[in-house]
Amino acid sequence: MWRTTPMHRRERSGSIADHRPPPLADDVERSEIQPPADGVGPLFHRRYGARIREPAFDAEDLVARISRNLNAVAPTQFAVFQKVVGQDEAMRVGDEYVVRMPAPWDGPVRVVGVGPRSFRFATLAGHLEAGQIEFRALPAPEGGVRFEIESWARSGDWLSNLLYHHLRMAKEVQLHMWTSFIERVARVSGGRLTGGIDIDTCRIEDLGDEA
């Protein structure tokens, strides 16, 4: 199937001082969390973003709808979110999901942040990546809503690093997964994407004391 959404990709190098993942709140359970320091290879700080014109919901309502049913916007050919800890009716800090993907991609995550316009996951032991990912919606200055997915992650182990950086398999799966996610968010919102999807990637080779 041909993709019709324009994608604007930018890649650059950066320093860990400017691209650290958000700190975890004091009340977040740390057991089994897989931070970037536990991963291998470079850290990638990546942001996917797009403006949605004329949505039926504002940013807060859109995030609330997505967080109640992630599979309504997940590209199920790439990933299915299965909640394994927490109640079904809402997303709360401490909830856990297993992201079911084509083998060997299944990955457990824990909710480490929930706000009116965003929610954030941290990867758990056994995940393909080591880091965090945040989903958020904001009022767009030009009108409508801007939806973004932002991640801070390294490969979880040497095999993941090989697949991502050398064979590039995981990188392409990830790209199509999150751009498809944003396209589905636009459909759920009742609006339409305008201007395509921006994909900004910063690669950090030297993590210093962070790794």
CATH of the domain at 46: 3.30.530.20
Interacting residues of 54 by C-beta distance below 8 A, sequence separation 6+: 144, 190, 191, 192
- Entry field: residues in the chain: 211
In a domain, 167, yes or no: yes
Residue 2 has pLDDT above 80, yes or no: no
In a domain, 62, yes or no: yes
| Nearest-angstrom CA–CA distance, 58 and 61 | 5
Neighbours of 170 (CB within 10 A): 21
Residue 57 has pLDDT above 60, yes or no: yes
Q: How many domains in the chain? A: 1
Which domain does 128 fall in, by range? 32-206
Mean pLDDT of the chain: 89
| Nearest-angstrom CA–CA distance, 107 and 155 | 12
In a domain, 72, yes or no: yes
In a domain, 46, yes or no: yes
Task: Report the percentage of the chain scoring pLDDT > 90.
Answer: 72
Q: What is the pLDDT of residues 61-86, one digit of tens each?
A: 999 999 999 999 999 887 899 999 99
In a domain, 21, yes or no: no
Cα 34–Cα 116–Cα 84 angle in degrees, nearest 5: 40
Tokens at 83, concatenated: 């909640």
Residue 197 has pLDDT above 90, yes or no: yes
pTM (whole model) above 0.85: yes
In a domain, 4, yes or no: no
Contact between 92 and 83 under an 8 Å Cβ cutoff? The reply is no
| Nearest-angstrom CA–CA distance, 197 and 157 | 29
Average of per-residue pLDDT across 95-114? 87
Contact between 36 and 211 under an 8 Å Cβ cutoff? The reply is yes
Q: What is the pLDDT of residues 11-37, one digit of tens each?
A: 999 999 999 999 999 999 999 999 999
In a domain, 3, yes or no: no
In a domain, 68, yes or no: yes
